[in-house]
Structure 1
Amino acid sequence: MATSGSAKPPCYIGTAYVQGRASGNLIASNLELSFWGGVDPRTGQVIDRHHTLSGKCLQGCILAIPGGRGSCSGSGVILELLLNGNGPLAILFERREDILTLGVMMAEEIFQKSIPVVVLDPVNFASISTASHVCIKGTQVWTTEGIDVREMEADSDAIETGTGLIPDSIELSEVDTGFLDGSHGEAARLAMRIILRMAELQGARRLLDVTQVHIDGCVYTGPASLAFAEKLRDLGGKTVVPTSLNSISVDQRRWRAQGVESSFGQAAEKLAAAYVDMGARPTFTCAPYLLDTAPKRGEQIAWAESNAVVFANSVLGAKTMKYPDFLDIAIALTGRAPEGGLHIDSNRRASFCVIVSSSIDVKDVDDAFYPLLGYHVGRLSGPRIPLVTGLDRFQPQTEDLKAFGAAFATVSSAPMFHMLGITPEATSVEAVTDPKREMTSIDLDLASLQLCSNILNSAEAGQHVDLVSLGNPHFSFAEIRNLAHLCRGKTKQEGTAIVVTCGRSIFGLASQAGLIAELEQFGVDFITDTCWCMIDEPIIPRAAKVIMTNSAKYAHYGPGLTGKRFYFGSLANCVAAACAPE
């Protein structure tokens, strides 16, 4: 009831994927937010310098965003925030959101800490987003300006809180039932609970077998990520399908020599060891599609790491959801995943088309074209799967598609794209679209890409480049070979470092080919196991002011992660920036 005879405010009814109650000041945006690289897990401050909420602190507030985007590690960041007390009081979404919701579910299931997560329809979300203070109880959300919150809460129905209920709407196999009743151990039982809650969120009615898993949860976001992994290991968790590991937070074999702070290095090393103890391979790469275990077309897999998910679905034609951190290990412990999303062919169709203008001359295109294009298409896409046409005449190579996909995944929540005549499923427009659904089309020219270039270049013209950052995602053998070609006959100038990150397997191949020795003689430093989104001081010197990269992903996240200014450009331009004038 409203007080002082005032009218009762409208109550909006949503879907509560995590039950609970909260009231507080509202922080709202109509732009999706990646928690990894976008929110500091230690403080709750929004550090994505390209986001409308940049500089805001989520602690003690209710957050309203349409959904998440970008990295699968967002679930790890929200878990960290809930356990250290610097997270939001609740989250409101405009549509179903897997990654952040899963992080809250994990906090509830494993650590008995939770916040409400409610999805409102677009009209109600838009209405509530203009409020300054809101109250949530179960499925109910209302504004509270001028209202006694205690009266409002007392006037609403009681809700059930605590560990989430296991849905009974999902068809369980005998194997699933065995996991759920603890026949395979406590770790597998907890894993199955998490999988089933996520299946309900995704609208799946049964589970399916997967052939392999790629785990992104091995990134150290703080004490909570380590506590989670060690708990599953200590409960007897063992992987039951082949499982690879994403980049970790340090170069495991050399972090001490690199001057990494001891407590951080040891914690990151312990986290990696916990996953290896559970049976995962120490591949430590954010580009698992470069491994000899890369899946084939049509293979049902469960990969986390946003760029890897997009590459697997789009370029390899494998089938995976954009799995959040922690759900990846749950699937690895059971071999079972929700049968929904992009595991189903009908959900892989494009819903809009981006037409690359025929006015763009192939001669005007270098390797910076593809990450810029991916970044722009990702910004246009949001949650929609795009079909990109007009690129067949450019004949993009694997490395071009890798750069496009990583940039696309940074700013889009869609788990794949199609390129007509290039990616395996896009043999024709009809093959990847729904004939019953009208397609909207957007024309794209070089002027559109110049706008993205302006966004990614945060340094002022003419500033000295202190560090050239390469390998986000991890460099391939072909990229290392191309870098060696560009460096031959040139001299690196003092005061500019060039650092490349790559996986152990690629480093080994490049060493055998003599490329590592050649590039190290030129002045290139190589780091394995970790990637740029996890690298900080002292590898990035405190005195450095400007970083140059050929990665749109790092040019987007880097300013918030490092506090530095960035240049974005082609690989040739990166080499030129590091070389002494001729």
Structure 2
Amino acid sequence: MPDVSLSGRALVAGSAQGELLHADLGLSFWGGIDPFSGEVIDRHHPLSGAIVSDRVLAIPSGRGSCTGSSVMLELILNGHAPAALLLEQVDDILTLGVLIAEQMFGRSIPVVALGREAFAALREARHVRVSGNRVDGFASAPAALDGAPATVVAEAPCLTLSAQDREMLDGIHGRAAQVAMGIIVRMAELQGANTLLDITQAHIDGCIYTGPACLRFARQLVEWGAQVKVPTTLNAISVDKRRWREQGIDAAFGEPAAALGDAYLEMGAQVSFTCAPYLLDSAPRLGEQIVWAESNAVVYANSVLGARTLKYPDYLDICIALTGRAPLSGCHLPGQRHASLRIELPTLEGLDDAFYPLLGYHVGLLCGSEIPVICGLEHAQPDLDDLKAFGAAFATTSAAPMFHIAGVTPEAPSAERALGGQAPARLLRVSAMDLLESWWELNSAEEPRVDLVSLGNPHFSFSECARLAALCAGRRKHADTALVITCGRTIHERARDAGHVATLEAFGAQFVTDTCWCMLGEPVIPPAARTLMTNSGKYAHYAPGLVGRRVHFGSLAECVDAACSGRASGRLPAWLQLGEATEEPAHV
């Protein structure tokens, strides 16, 4: 007999059992799990070092990258996936990866959403059996499954489709559109959408190479004649497409990574290759209904531009681009864009550009999947680069699709408007000491030496190139320290025409286009490098797991100083020195 018997919502039906691997913190599969071994590589996560393969993984939800669906597909197809996935709440990104494996490759694992109470009740179990909606927990390993089919209580269909939707579903518009529409319908039903809506543009994150499975997926769509129906941009891919050979990238990686980009170009996508599509001339306007993947881009589009998109998983993004139709749910609906969490900040003086990524990282940890409104920056006047840095770090540690900053972002002229006139479900106060704790979390390096300064995660903007050039003018980097900037082709051309590239190359900087730090490894990262420095909260979080290097985090000016001296100063910014001396940790 089970020690605990629970009932949940089967997102993907199936039967499995195994040892339970449980955590109360969400996990990004991309940057958090090695797709080729099943090891948890997020060095900030309580499961760091654990192997998920053949175990029943229980996490509240995913978080961070939209590429989690691609990693899930790789794990399933290469045999390193969990036996089953148990969630506290529905997670589109992880579920979609399983659905793609099931729909296109005939492989699957059960996925069940349990709800808060049932998820908490499972915590003490050692082994778990999953069968359809039912989840049983045991203190010791139960008998083997008897092979009986999983039973699932079917939900009443509620999705209304247009005549053209049905034509695509029936295959009249080709096999690629048929499969894409089938996946969209399945996700719409999981999301509780009543209908689909027309979208004006798409940004594809599935062009990041995670392994053979993602290339199989894209090539299959090409073979089926897939062509996008709306203007479509591509995220940064996994290599600098024009220069990866001269950069010394192994052909075993470079060739399939470049081929994946080519597959999406064959489907009609534009040659954009940037993780910051909001820097392009095609950036959407306030209220525009779009489909973007790439976590930082989604958060920026919703929060800063006021466009409307969900945090779309890899693969669902291209399915929607092929049909021009998306589920009408979540942040596509005005009422789903309100904040439910209010966060109040302390008064801090002398803020520099390191404040915003640090704050985004910390706020994301507090939010989970809740949309926050941040109060206390009404007079700080963060610029677009500050909001870009905040959003990227926020998207790394939270599962929320957007944020509001009272008096700053377009849908938050006041906190009350951001909350939709309702009282917040939670009120949190952040102290300077709280921020200091997150500062030390991001500063994982134990020695002052800096071998590499990595800038451009997300991709550098033109204004960031100009600011960096001003900081570097007339100076020269240390001979033993590399400084590398990633940016999109469009921004690189503008910066070159303005003379900023020449100034930075005279300093000793290198530029890499088409790809971004979250995809870069050796030899762009010098093999002998032990520590790096960055001004990106996102990369400071991911780098220890992705490339095995310790990190110094700081402002852009501190990064330039470190590039010149070869050492990080270790200085706290003035606004944290004050906090360290006078603030006490908040107890919320």
What TM-score does the superposition give when structure 1 sets the normalisation length? 0.95
Alignment of 1:160-175 (within 5 A): 168-175=157-164
Describe the superposition over 1:295-318 as per-residue Cα deviations: whole angstroms up to 9, x where unpaired.
Answer: 000000000000000000000000
Contact 1:28–1:65 (CA<8 Å) still a contact in 2?
A: yes
Could you tell me how far 1:460 is from its partner in structure 2? 1.4
Could you tell me how far 1:580 is from its partner in structure 2? 4.0
Do the aligned partners of residues 379 and 20 (structure 1) sit closer, same or farther apart at CA in structure 2, a change above 3 Å counting? same
What is the CA–CA distance in structure 1 between the aligned matches of 2:243 and 2:155, rounded to whole Å?
Answer: 44
Q: Which residue of structure 1 lines up, in the alignment, with residue 482 of structure 2?
A: 497
Q: Which amino acid aligns with 1:11?
A: S
Alignment of 1:483-562 (within 5 A): 483-562=468-547
Q: Which of residues 40, 45, 49 is equivalent to 2:43?
A: 49
Q: Which amino acid aligns with 2:229?
A: V
What is the CA–CA distance in structure 2 between the aligned matches of 1:56 and 1:137, rounded to whole Å?
Answer: 24
Alignment pair present for 1:231 and 2:217:
no
What is the CA–CA distance in structure 1 between the aligned matches of 2:424 and 2:254, rounded to whole Å?
Answer: 52
Aligned to 1:527, the other structure's residue is in SS state strand
Q: Which of residues 75, 79, 101 is equivalent to 1:85?
A: 79
Alignment of 1:58-207 (within 5 A): 58-146=52-140, 148-150=142-144, 153=146, 158-159=149-150, 168-207=157-196
Do the aligned partners of residues 392 and 146 (structure 1) sit closer, same or farther apart at CA in structure 2, a change above 3 Å counting? closer
Do the aligned partners of residues 310 and 147 (structure 1) sit closer, same or farther apart at CA in structure 2, a change above 3 Å counting? closer
Q: How many residues align?
A: 567
Describe the superposition over 1:404-463 as per-residue Cα deviations: whole angstroms up to 9, x where unpaired.
Answer: 0000000000000001111001012222214344443222232221111100001115x2
Q: Which residue of structure 2 lines up, in the alignment, with residue 435 of structure 1?
A: 421
Could you tell me how far 1:81 is from its partner in structure 2? 0.5
Aligned to 1:195, the other structure's residue is in SS state helix
Alignment pair present for 1:300 and 2:285:
no
Alignment pair present for 1:31 and 2:31:
no
Contact 1:233–1:277 (CA<8 Å) still a contact in 2?
A: yes
Q: Which residue of structure 1 lines up, in the alignment, with residue 463 of structure 2?
A: 478
Alignment pair present for 1:573 and 2:558:
yes
What is the CA–CA distance in structure 2 between the aligned matches of 1:14 and 1:492, rounded to whole Å?
Answer: 57
Do the aligned partners of residues 24 and 293 (structure 1) sit closer, same or farther apart at CA in structure 2, a change above 3 Å counting? same
Q: Which amino acid aligns with 1:107?
A: A
Contact 1:17–1:201 (CA<8 Å) still a contact in 2?
A: yes
What is the CA–CA distance in structure 2 between the aligned matches of 1:107 and 1:567, rounded to whole Å?
Answer: 39
Q: Which of residues 356, 365, 374 is equivalent to 1:370?
A: 356
What is the CA–CA distance in structure 2 between the aligned matches of 1:46 and 1:165, rounded to whole Å?
Answer: 34
What is the CA–CA distance in structure 2 between the aligned matches of 1:256 and 1:166, rounded to whole Å?
Answer: 52
Identity %: 55
Aligned to 2:46, the other structure's residue is in SS state coil
Q: Which of residues 198, 201, 210 is equivalent to 1:221?
A: 210
Q: Which amino acid aligns with 2:564?
A: C
Contact 1:491–1:580 (CA<8 Å) still a contact in 2?
A: no
Describe the superposition over 1:201-230 as per-residue Cα deviations: whole angstroms up to 9, x where unpaired.
Answer: 111111000000000000000000000000
Q: Which amino acid aligns with 1:108?
A: E
Please provide the CA RMSD for this pair: 1.7
Q: Which of residues 381, 389, 402 is equivalent to 2:367?
A: 381
What is the CA–CA distance in structure 2 between the aligned matches of 1:546 and 1:146, rounded to whole Å?
Answer: 44
Q: Which residue of structure 1 lines up, in the alignment, with residue 301 of structure 2?
A: 312
What is the CA–CA distance in structure 2 between the aligned matches of 1:191 and 1:86, rounded to whole Å?
Answer: 26
Could you tell me how far 1:326 is from its partner in structure 2? 0.2
What is the CA–CA distance in structure 2 between the aligned matches of 1:48 and 1:217, rounded to whole Å?
Answer: 21
What is the CA–CA distance in structure 1 between the aligned matches of 2:121 and 2:364, rounded to whole Å?
Answer: 27
Do the aligned partners of residues 258 and 167 (structure 1) sit closer, same or farther apart at CA in structure 2, a change above 3 Å counting? farther
Q: Which residue of structure 1 lines up, in the alignment, with residue 387 of structure 2?
A: 401
Q: Structure 1: which 5+ runs fail to align?
A: 3-7
What is the CA–CA distance in structure 1 between the aligned matches of 2:126 and 2:521, rounded to whole Å?
Answer: 36
What is the CA–CA distance in structure 1 between the aligned matches of 2:272 and 2:115, rounded to whole Å?
Answer: 41
What is the CA–CA distance in structure 1 between the aligned matches of 2:471 and 2:139, rounded to whole Å?
Answer: 62
Could you tell me how far 1:517 is from its partner in structure 2? 1.4
Contact 1:75–1:324 (CA<8 Å) still a contact in 2?
A: yes
Describe the superposition over 1:253-298 as per-residue Cα deviations: whole angstroms up to 9, x where unpaired.
Answer: 0000000001110001110000000000110000000000000000
Q: Which amino acid aligns with 1:284?
A: F
Aligned to 2:6, the other structure's residue is in SS state strand
